[in-house]
Amino acid sequence: MSRNAILAVSFGTIYAETREKTIGAIEQTMRETFPGWDVKRALTSPTILRKLAAAGEPMQNVWQALGQLREEGVSRVVCQSTYVVNGEEQEAMVRETEKYAHWFDQIVCGAPLLTAQEDFEAVADAIETEFTTLSPEEVLVLMGHGTKHSANTAYAALDYVFKDHGAHNIFVGTVDTYPSILSVLRRVESIQPKKIILAPLMVVAGDHARNDMAGDKNSWRAAFEERGYPVQTVLKGLGEYPGIRAVYAAHAQRAAERLI
């Protein structure tokens, strides 16, 4: 048993296949980045944890996972979230780890996806690489979750980075806040594309991607189709993109450098 561990902290999803393609893939990248370290999973959504337990697939929350690491003799832990922005969920994870810091010699937290300027550049590059076949007559719309936290500005900042890269046909919107679907629709209509491609700006292509983005009614797909655009939906979470996984691994490495 190693003395060091990575605790990969994710919101979670009830969809097993999607979970392993995204969260599981990020965790595998952590194993490759930290040979000899244990990599453990924790989920933070109480609703998802309840549903998984009811389905006979129980998983641990943060304090349960930390408790097991303690019992197994781990003394140094990097808690690396798979969150997109530095908002309420990241802050809650940090508070949770602080409550149990006395269990370990050291415990540190890695930053979420969109934190430093180089993260925005790397994320934009990773997404552009995934959509290299996007033509000038097509538009890619990325749907993020959004938050009332001040970290919500990360979504508009990422949109700006795409434009700065010359990717004027890539737009970022959010389900809950700004940029809203109405804002995205107005900007897309100004260039009159021949096709819309919708993809989630979320680690997992879960309920939001399946329903709010790609659903038949009251969805982003329906909103674009009502305006006469052909729409293609891509149910692929960010965790499936190698470039995105590399950003999370780099954040975990930077956090690990703080361990003595």
Query: What CATH number corresponds to the domain at position 160?
Result: 3.40.50.1400
Mean pLDDT of all residues in 114-130: 98
CB 109 within 8 A of CB 253: no
Confidence band, pLDDT 50/70/90 cuts, at residue 2: low
Domain count, the chain: 2
Q: What is the pLDDT of residues 55-83, one digit of tens each?
A: 999 999 999 999 999 999 999 999 999 99
Q: Is the pLDDT of residue 1 over 60?
A: no
Confidence band, pLDDT 50/70/90 cuts, at residue 84: very high
Do 108 and 219 have their domain in common?
no
The dihedral built from the CA positions of residue 98, 101, 105 and 109, taken in this order, carries a sign that is negative
Do 9 and 35 have their domain in common?
yes
Write down the catalytic residue from 102, 145, 165, 251.
145
232 CB contacts (<8 Å, ≥6 apart)? 195, 196, 197, 198
Do 89 and 68 have their domain in common?
yes
Percent of the chain with pLDDT over 70: 99
Reply yes or no on whether 145 is catalytic: yes
Do 95 and 139 have their domain in common?
no
How many residues are given for the chain? Answer: 260
Q: What is the pLDDT of residues 29-51, one digit of tens each?
A: 999 999 999 999 999 999 999 99
Mean pLDDT of all residues in 116-137: 98
Mean pLDDT of all residues in 102-127: 98
For residue 260, the model assigns a pLDDT of 75
Do 28 and 99 have their domain in common?
yes
Do 32 and 98 have their domain in common?
yes
Amino acid sitting at position 230: P
Q: What is the pTM of this model?
A: 0.96
Q: Is the pLDDT of residue 27 over 60?
A: yes
CB 82 within 8 A of CB 21: no
Range of the domain at 188: 117-238
Do 43 and 68 have their domain in common?
yes
Please work out, in degrees rounded to the nearest 5, the angle formed at the alpha carbon of residue 161 by the alpha carbons of 235 and 44: 50
Q: What is the pLDDT of residues 195-229, one digit of tens each?
A: 999 999 999 998 889 999 999 889 999 999 999 99
Do 95 and 154 have their domain in common?
no
Do 52 and 109 have their domain in common?
yes
Do 141 and 102 have their domain in common?
no
CB 201 within 8 A of CB 130: no
